[in-house]
Amino acid sequence: MLNTIKNIADGWLRHSMNVWLKKYKPSKEIQTYLDDRFSVCMSCDHMSVMNYPGFNKDFRFCGKCKCAFPSLIFAYRKECPQRKWGAIPDDIK
Ligand code: SF4
């Protein structure tokens, strides 16, 4: 449970810093992992899309772990619940 909370916080923090605040720029190696996770999730049958009236945007989340996408790909320690991708190794900076 604690690891799940840490992963959610980690993912949202990095995603916010990267996309909205432009304060987080991953290394090339990390970006490779993020790009791979992004591609796998986008083509995954478990990716769910919701559209709320009044919002001009689709909301995506993983139908298995219920984590918000793309924040979930920014959680370095997270593993895909279907084992399609794993945690980013600690020695990757
Ligand atoms: S985390 Fe795994 S199961 Fe969930 S959408 Fe991504 S690839 Fe699919």
pLDDT tens digits along 20-52: 777 778 899 999 999 999 999 999 999 999 988
Distance 61 CA to ligand 1 centre (A): 9
Q: Which of 72, 84, 85, 88 to mutate to test the pocket of ligand 1 (most atoms within 8 A of CB)?
A: 84
- Ligand 1: residue whose CA is nearest its atom 7: 41
**DSSP line for 49-70:** EEE-TT-SSEEEEETTT--EET
pLDDT tens digits along 53-78: 887 888 999 999 999 999 999 999 99
The enclosing H or E element of 25 equals none
Fill in the amino acid letter for 70: P
Is the sign of the CA dihedral 85, 74, 10, 69 positive or negative? negative
Short-list 21, 45, 49, CA closest to 74 = 21
pLDDT, position 88: 96
pLDDT, position 23: 78
pLDDT, position 37: 97
